[in-house]
């Protein structure tokens, strides 16, 4: 692993150990993270990702040991440890050391990771519907980027791969489309972009919000609304937005092949233009 991690006031390379056997987060799961990207010399929306990390911590009963601005400054220091333009994954990770059922906010620790990680190529992915659903806000901390949510997402991802697909589409508790296992879902129909309306079962992603704004500014209609699985199957285009790959096309849904279309292509172009604009 080509990586640097800022832990307890200093940079450590490699993949350092963080938790003890009886750390609260080890057995009670009180941990959150956020992910941002550096690539081609840019760090789009890094400030927003750091702010969300602090909000996620608070939503889970943690308290960040430092404000978002300090997290961002440390990340930028870490980026400078790599050759300019290196593709990096940027991750503030916060967890609890003490507590009973609930974490003790004062015990919150933070590790800030800067890891060399290539962006996936936009060659297209295959997707299928998972039987595993996203939880509601009453049953899980869906307003946070909480580690505990990824066990369910992982089950959906593994199920899809077992069936020969790259990614899973997850429904919300009442059967409407929520998102992919780890990114937000979009479809295009008749030249307009459609994406599930945030309903408390998935995060309103930072890249999702950015792409919606960019498409609207470019004159493309964007509808945030309830979407059914049948609409995904019948879509002209399907694509994803998320920090890991930014904007990626879907080229197969179940047995149906698709091609990257004009709405996806414009969304990716607009995002890259925004990222490099300053």
pLDDT digits (tens, 9 = 90+) for 253-266: 999 999 999 999 99
Within this chain, do residues 107 and 32 fall inside the same structural domain, yes or no?
yes
Within this chain, do residues 161 and 204 fall inside the same structural domain, yes or no?
yes
pLDDT digits (tens, 9 = 90+) for 42-79: 999 999 999 999 999 999 999 999 999 999 999 999 99
What is the pLDDT, as a whole number, of residue 82? Answer: 98
Within this chain, do residues 182 and 105 fall inside the same structural domain, yes or no?
no
CA 148/CA 135 separation, integer angstroms: 11
- 252-261: b (≥16 Cβ within 10 Å) or e: bbeeeebebb
> Which of 89, 116, 143 delimits the end of a domain?
116
Q: What percent of the chain has pLDDT over 90?
A: 99
> Which of 86, 116, 146 delimits the end of a domain?
116
Within this chain, do residues 177 and 264 fall inside the same structural domain, yes or no?
yes
Closest CA to 249 of 175, 166, 161: 166
Provide the domain count of the chain. Answer: 2
What is the pLDDT, as a whole number, of residue 174? Answer: 97
Within this chain, do residues 166 and 269 fall inside the same structural domain, yes or no?
yes
> Which of 116, 146, 162 delimits the end of a domain?
116
Give the HSE-up count for residue 123: Cα atoms under 13 Å, Cβ half-sphere. Answer: 4
Q: Tell me the mean pLDDT in the region 238-247.
A: 97
Within this chain, do residues 164 and 263 fall inside the same structural domain, yes or no?
yes
Within this chain, do residues 144 and 38 fall inside the same structural domain, yes or no?
no
Cβ(134)–Cβ(172) below 8 Å: yes
CA 154/CA 158 separation, integer angstroms: 6
Q: Where are the alpha helices (DSSP H) in 80-198?
A: 150-162
Q: Rounded to whole angstroms, what are the CA distances from 142 to 36, 146, 172, 218?
A: 19, 8, 12, 31
User: How many Cβ atoms sit within 10 Å of the Cβ of residue 35?
Assistant: 20
pLDDT digits (tens, 9 = 90+) for 167-217: 999 999 999 999 999 999 999 999 999 999 999 999 999 999 999 999 999
> At 1, is the pLDDT very low, low, confident or very high (cuts 50, 70, 90)?
confident
Q: Is the confidence at residue 226, as pLDDT, over 90? A: yes
Within this chain, do residues 10 and 87 fall inside the same structural domain, yes or no?
yes
Within this chain, do residues 162 and 112 fall inside the same structural domain, yes or no?
no
CATH of the domain at 28: 3.30.470.10
CA 92/CA 38 separation, integer angstroms: 14
Q: Is the confidence at residue 107, as pLDDT, over 80? A: yes
pLDDT digits (tens, 9 = 90+) for 117-174: 999 999 999 999 999 999 999 999 999 999 999 999 999 999 999 999 999 999 999 9
Within this chain, do residues 81 and 205 fall inside the same structural domain, yes or no?
no
Within this chain, do residues 253 and 143 fall inside the same structural domain, yes or no?
yes
Mean residue pLDDT of the chain comes to 97
Q: Is the confidence at residue 109, as pLDDT, over 90? A: yes
Within this chain, do residues 149 and 265 fall inside the same structural domain, yes or no?
yes
Residue range(s) defining the domain that contains residue 103: 3-116
What is the pLDDT, as a whole number, of residue 48? Answer: 98
CATH of the domain at 203: 3.20.10.10
């Amino acid at each position: 692993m080509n990586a640097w991690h800022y832990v307890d006031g200093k940079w450590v390379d490699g993949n350092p150990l963080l938790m003890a056997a009886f750390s609260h987060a080890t057995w009670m799961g009180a941990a959150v993270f956020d992910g941002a990207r550096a690539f081609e010399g840019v760090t789009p929306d890094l400030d927003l990702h750091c702010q969300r990390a602090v909000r996620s911590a608070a939503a889970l009963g943690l308290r960040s040991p430092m404000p978002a601005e300090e997290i961002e400054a440390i990340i930028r220091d870490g980026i400078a440890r790599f050759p300019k333009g290196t593709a990096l994954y940027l991750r503030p990770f916060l967890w609890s050391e003490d507590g009973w059922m609930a974490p003790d906010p004062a015990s919150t620790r933070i590790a800030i990771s800067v890891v060399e990680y290539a962006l996936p190529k936009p060659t297209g992915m295959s997707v299928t519907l998972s039987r595993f659903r996203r939880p509601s806000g009453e049953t899980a901390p869906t307003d946070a980027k909480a580690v505990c949510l990824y066990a369910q997402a992982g089950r959906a991802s593994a199920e899809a791969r077992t069936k020969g697909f790259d990614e899973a589409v997850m429904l919300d508790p009442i059967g409407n489309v929520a998102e992919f296992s780890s990114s937000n879902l979009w479809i295009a129909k008749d030249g307009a972009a459609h994406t599930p309306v945030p309903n408390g079962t998935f995060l309103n992603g930072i890249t999702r919000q950015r792409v919606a704004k960019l498409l609207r500014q470019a004159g493309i209609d964007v509808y945030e609304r309830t979407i059914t699985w049948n609409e995904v199957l019948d879509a002209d285009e399907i694509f994803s937005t998320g920090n890991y790959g930014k904007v990626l096309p879907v080229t197969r849904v179940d047995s149906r092949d698709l091609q990257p279309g004009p709405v996806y292509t414009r969304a990716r172009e607009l995002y890259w233009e925004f990222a490099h604009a300053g």
